[in-house]
A = this chain, B = another copy of it.
Amino acid sequence: MPVKVFGSPASAEVARVLTCLFEKDVEFQLIRVDSFRGPKRMPQYLKLQPHGEALTLEDGNVTLVESRKILRHIAAKYKHQGYKDLFGQGALERASIEQWLQTEAHSFDIPSADMVYSLSYLPPDMPLDGRGVPAAGMHPSHRQKMEEMLQLFEKSRRDLGKLLDIYEQRLGEMEYLADDKFTLADLTHLPNADRLAADPRSARLIESRKNVSRWWYTISGRDSWKRVKELQRPPSAEAPF
């Protein structure tokens, strides 16, 4: 039985797992559910699995729902196939990878998701320099939301800035985060870093740091990630007519 992944490739959790499966050349099935409601097309990636999570991996008797646990499972179980340095080659390397997996989960994941979320509300022409929401006519509840989103943006920018300063230093010493090779430590950053890179207002966090930029350029160019990006592209992005 091949590995089964339930979920949408548009989810960061799912994208992380798919990238890992591609890196390890693991045969798998991706099961997606699109919902269409009445006249408006509304693809919603629904939850197939018992606990309602947006991601489930089934591999034989093993069922897992958290992406970073799944990364460790795949990298360990399929260590002899595909790209073999993903989980390091010894205890020391493994420990370093684990440390960066934790850093991503605890310090990168939330502020990067917050920043993308806040930017989705803030018009591209709204100044983000702390001058607040422009005084132009706006419904009070709308204005309040904008103020909240500006604050969330500012907080995530500050937190990410500090974190990426550490990354910048580390990536000045090593080519990748945990090792001199691409590992799970780097892979786990791909989905959210890609979202940051997609908007000029957040991409600056990457582009303004020489080593982080070089690292992002290298890891986002991996075939595994390009294949996930293809799967993420919604069918409505460019209609063929």
Contacts and interface: CB of A to CB of B under 8 A. Distances in A.
Contacts of A39: 25, 82
Contacts of A240: 229-230, 233, 237
A94 B239 CA distance: 34
A167 interface: no
Interface string A58-100: 0000000000000000000000001000000000000000000
A31 B21 CA distance: 21
Given A33-B31, A36-B21, A38-B27, A239 B235 contact: no
Contacts of A238: 238
Contact of A226 (B27, B38, B233, B241): B241
Interface string A31-48: 111111111010000100
Given A229-B240, A230-B239, A235-B231, A36 B32 contact: no
A227 interface: yes
Contact of A46 (B22, B29, B235): B29
A27 B38 CA distance: 5
A39 B34 CA distance: 26
Given A41-B227, A226-B239, A229-B240, A30 B34 contact: yes
A21 B37 CA distance: 10
A27 B33 CA distance: 13
Nearest to A221: B241
A34 to B, nearest CB: 5
A208 interface: no
What 5 A-B pairs have minimum CB-CB distances, sorted nearest first? A25-B38, A30-B34, A230-B235, A27-B37, A25-B39
